[in-house]
């Protein structure tokens, strides 16, 4: 019931502001009404549900245009398996920018992403800018936790964090931040993080980010990479990534031994002309000690005629966890301007062990989108999965969107 009230609040508060300041406020957003059907992987039963997603934005609330409100939520009614009505409020906040030309304020439910950590927060975020080469940010509030069907946050779930960012240099971005999460057992996460991005010679980007867990005294995540683009049509990418699973200090999983994952990647993307583009790459994936896999991926995008696009992809993996090879063919066609049609076939062959031998997984899908007018559109997608679990697993969705 709390989520239902909050979803009504999403509509009511924003409409109240828009009606009370009709001389200046602008209300925009999207209403998306959906019907979808699928197999419930938990119960194994067929399931169908109606859903309504609402995104609203109210701007120009005040004469100076500094105050705005944003909201986004979803409600669902399941109609086959008896799970009933449930909903989720993703965000609902007020934003006041350029206070004294130095401070941005945001209050309410919002997603905050720092290099050190991210969370959905019922609270506040304050950004300090235009005070020199470094900008500052601080956030804090109740940590919003969702399960599959509901919200389970309590008064003991809290997060806060601070960040410092380089400002005023168009070729350099950098952030150093701190993030702490608290639950009923005390400090659940205690992390610092950093991210960096540098453009060089108008043809290269060097980037990286890392996250260090203070409790376990280990780097939970590290990414370094370089992109080289001598022309706008040709991009070379090289990356090194590693991660070490970190759990909340209060979680039972925090006492289990885990392995570090590492991956080295090389990739090339080349647009030959307006009709053909190709890409390819390889990576070395390392799972703990003595377990590794090689992955190769190739693909092309072809436009044989003006209104048709064909995507072809193939990938192959050998080593740890068995052999895998598979491909996908996807075709998009625009017969008339308001109508888009698409279809695809995915086919994978894998061998997890010598006992089961080779197995296959296939997916067939068909979809379309029709733009009724500038504010309304409708789309449909249907797919069938055939694998070791299902001889036929049909699912699909029908969507009607209204933009205002």
Q: pTM of the predicted model, to two decimals?
A: 0.83
pLDDT band at 1 (very low <50, low <70, confident <90, very high): very low
Q: Are 238 and 265 in contact (CB under 8 A)?
A: yes
User: In the structure, what pLDDT confidence band is assigned to residue 21 with cuts at 50, 70 and 90?
Assistant: very low
Q: pLDDT tens for residues 339-358?
A: 999 999 999 988 766 666 78
C-alpha atoms less than 13 angstroms from C-alpha of 44 in its C-beta half-sphere: 2
Report the percentage of the chain scoring pLDDT > 90. Answer: 68
Domain with CATH 2.40.160.10 in the chain: 266-404
CATH fit for domain 266-404, picks 2.40.160.10, 1.10.760.10, 1.10.220.110, 3.40.50.720: 2.40.160.10
Both tokens of residue 280?
A: 């390819």
User: Residues 198-217: what's their mean pLDDT?
Assistant: 95
Cα 275 from Cα 375, distance rounded (Å): 31
With 90 as the cut, is the pLDDT of residue 6 above it?
Answer: no
Quote the pLDDT of residue 2: 45
Q: Report the chain's mean pLDDT, rounded to a whole number.
A: 89
Average pLDDT over every residue of 309-317: 96
pLDDT the model gives residue 319: 86
| pLDDT single digits (tens) 138-170 | 999 999 998 877 788 888 899 999 999 999 888
Span 312-318, mean pLDDT?
94
Distances (CA, A) of 292 to 224, 260, 283, 369: 20, 12, 10, 42
Q: Once rounded to an integer, what is the mean pLDDT over residues 194-220?
A: 95
pLDDT value at position 354?
62
pLDDT value of residue 79:
85
Written as six digits, the tokens of 238 are: 């090289």
pLDDT at 398: 97
């Amino acid at each position: 019931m709390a989520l239902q009230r909050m979803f009504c609040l999403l509509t009511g508060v924003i409409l109240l502001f828009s009606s009370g300041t009709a001389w200046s406020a602008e209300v925009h957003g999207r209403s998306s009404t959906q019907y979808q059907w699928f197999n419930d992987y938990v119960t194994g039963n067929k399931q169908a549900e109606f859903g309504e997603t609402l995104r609203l934005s109210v701007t120009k609330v005040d004469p100076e245009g500094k105050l705005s409100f944003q909201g986004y939520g979803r409600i669902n009614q399941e109609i086959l398996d008896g799970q009933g009505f449930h909903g989720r409020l993703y965000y609902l906040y007020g934003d006041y920018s350029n206070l004294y030309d130095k401070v941005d304020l945001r209050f309410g439910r919002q997603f905050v992403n720092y290099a050190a950590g991210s969370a959905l927060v019922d609270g506040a975020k304050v950004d300090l800018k235009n005070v020199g080469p470094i900008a500052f940010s601080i956030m804090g509030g109740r940590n919003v936790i969702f399960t599959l069907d509901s919200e389970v946050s309590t008064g003991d779930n809290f997060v806060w964090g601070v960040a410092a960012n380089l400002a005023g240099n168009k070729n350099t971005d950098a952030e150093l931040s701190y993030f702490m999460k608290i639950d009923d057992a005390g400090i659940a996460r205690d992390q610092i993080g950093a991210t960096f991005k540098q453009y060089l010679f108008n043809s290269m980007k060097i980037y990286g980010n890392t996250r260090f867990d203070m409790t376990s005294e280990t780097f939970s995540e590290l990414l370094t990479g370089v992109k080289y683009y001598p022309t706008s049509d040709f991009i070379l990418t090289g990356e090194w990534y590693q991660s070490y699973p970190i759990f909340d200090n209060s979680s039972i999983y925090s006492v289990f031994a885990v392995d570090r994952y590492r991956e080295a990647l090389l990739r090339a993307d080349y647009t030959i002309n307006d009709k053909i583009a190709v890409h390819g790459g390889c990576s070395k994936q390392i799972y703990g000690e003595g377990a590794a896999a090689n992955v190769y991926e190739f693909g092309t995008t072809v436009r044989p005629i003006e209104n048709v696009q064909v995507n072809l992809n193939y990938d192959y993996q050998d080593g740890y966890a068995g052999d895998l090879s598979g491909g996908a063919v996807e075709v998009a066609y625009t017969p008339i301007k308001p109508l888009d049609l698409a279809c695809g076939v995915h086919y994978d062959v894998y061998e997890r062990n010598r006992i089961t031998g080779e197995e296959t997984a296939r997916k067939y899908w068909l979809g379309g989108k029709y733009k009724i007018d500038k504010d309304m559109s409708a789309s449909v997608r249907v797919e069938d999965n055939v694998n070791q679990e299902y001889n036929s697993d049909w699912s699909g969705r029908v969507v009607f969107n209204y933009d205002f």
